[in-house]
Structure 1
Amino acid sequence: MGDTDERVKPNRVVFVTVGTTCFDTLVRAVDTKEVKEALSLKGYTHLLIQMGRGSYVPTKSNGEDGSLVVDYFTFSSSIADSLRSASLVISHAGSGSIFETLRLGKPLIVVVNEDLMDNHQSELAEELAERKHLFCARPQTLYQTIAGMDLESLIPYSPGDATPVAKQINRFLGFPDD
């Protein structure tokens, strides 16, 4: 074994998703020098950004200078593979993206889009952050969230059992218990 073999870091991918929306403020935030450096300091090697309908185009990088390898795409028929291969997910506050990531057991930072009217998504993200299933940030606080996050503090999410609720509804409707 040569010296170079020992220095090869395993890929640790940060996957950023905005879903089908336009969330340029999130894409801009992850494309800043300070956020990229904070991710590098945490041991991440790659940044893959799904930018949706946005018009802001992040800066690609091949990582030659020791920085993160950065790539992006607009849409994919399925982001499941990107989620599965990620070491960290940074997502918009869409419930589908949140729960798909949590079911896979991936550490998650949810970034709330404050430009949305009637932002019920922020309530979901903040509740799950309070329960320590994920970290919640705003585009302007993303750097501080990454720099200060302790992944060991997260509690794995386990979906609830709907059986008691279903039985209660059946009883109410007059159906017999099984």
Structure 2
Amino acid sequence: MGEIYDSLQLKRIVFVTVGLTSFDSLVRAVDTREVREALLKKGYTHLLIQMGHDLYIPMKSAGEDGFILVDYFTFSPSIADHLRSASLVISHASSGDIFETMQLRKPLIVVVNEDLMDNHQSELAEELAEKKHLFCAHPHTLFNTISEMDTENLVAYEPGGALPVARFINQFLGFSSQ
């Protein structure tokens, strides 16, 4: 029975996406031993990183001897299949990636790129984290976020519930709410 169970062991993928831009600090953060071990302790088996124009190249791992399997790629015409197959998504703060992931009802950690000027996307991520739709982190807090997260406490995002988010964005941009 043990052999059958081992061959049927669930593949739990963490998909990391940085979009088309460079977000070396996120790639570096997921490439640390402590983050990989934290993911493994949470039951994740694979780490797939979509990189942009990043200079930092993560270390691949074949997943042997109790280590998480790690792979990466730089471009895909669509990340939709990767999002669908993921058990956890770690993403930059792109509103498109955030809402696509939440509509798929995937646990999501949004990592704020502190190097961007006028980072309005971080405010969206923080607002959605406050409503318990996702977790929000920074590259230097990613390990703690993963270690402390309980995906069972996330509240499903209802696509029809965009009105409060739209109001928040309008308020942030200085438009009157009517």
Letter in 1 for 2:51: M
* Alignment partner, residue 57 of structure 1: 57
Letter in 1 for 2:122: S
Q: Runs (4+) of structure 1 moved beyond 6 Å? A: none
* Alignment partner, residue 105 of structure 1: 105
Letter in 1 for 2:111: V
Counterparts of 2:111 and 2:161, CA distance in 1: 28
Post-superposition offset of 1:58 = 0.4
Post-superposition offset of 1:159 = 1.6
Question: Relative to structure 1, is the Cα distance of residues 123 and 162 closer, same or farther in structure 2, using a 3 angstrom cutoff?
Answer: closer
* Alignment partner, residue 171 of structure 1: none
* Alignment partner, residue 3 of structure 1: 2
Structure 2 spans left out of the alignment, 5+ residues: 167-178
Question: Relative to structure 1, is the Cα distance of residues 103 and 162 closer, same or farther in structure 2, using a 3 angstrom cutoff?
Answer: closer
Counterparts of 1:20 and 1:61, CA distance in 2: 24
* Alignment partner, residue 172 of structure 1: none
Question: Relative to structure 1, is the Cα distance of residues 145 and 161 closer, same or farther in structure 2, using a 3 angstrom cutoff?
Answer: closer
Counterparts of 2:103 and 2:19, CA distance in 1: 17
Question: Relative to structure 1, is the Cα distance of residues 34 and 95 closer, same or farther in structure 2, using a 3 angstrom cutoff?
Answer: same
What are the equivalent positions in structure 2 for 1:52-131 lying under 5 Å apart?
Answer: 52-131=52-131
What value does the CA root-mean-square deviation take over the aligned residues? 1.5
Counterparts of 2:162 and 2:123, CA distance in 1: 22
Counterparts of 1:7 and 1:40, CA distance in 2: 16
When normalised by structure 2's length, the TM-score is 0.88
* Alignment partner, residue 22 of structure 2: 22
Counterparts of 2:132 and 2:112, CA distance in 1: 16
Post-superposition offset of 1:7 = 2.8
* TM-superposition CA deviations, 1:30-50 (whole Å, max 9, x none): 000000000000000000000
Counterparts of 1:29 and 1:161, CA distance in 2: 32
Structure label with greater radius of gyration: 1
When normalised by structure 1's length, the TM-score is 0.88
Letter in 2 for 1:39: L
Question: Relative to structure 1, is the Cα distance of residues 54 and 162 closer, same or farther in structure 2, using a 3 angstrom cutoff?
Answer: closer
Letter in 1 for 2:99: F
Question: Relative to structure 1, is the Cα distance of residues 14 and 94 closer, same or farther in structure 2, using a 3 angstrom cutoff?
Answer: same
Question: Relative to structure 1, is the Cα distance of residues 117 and 62 closer, same or farther in structure 2, using a 3 angstrom cutoff?
Answer: same
Q: The residue matched to 1:15 in structure 2 has which SS?
A: strand
Q: The residue matched to 1:136 in structure 2 has which SS?
A: strand
Post-superposition offset of 1:3 = 2.6
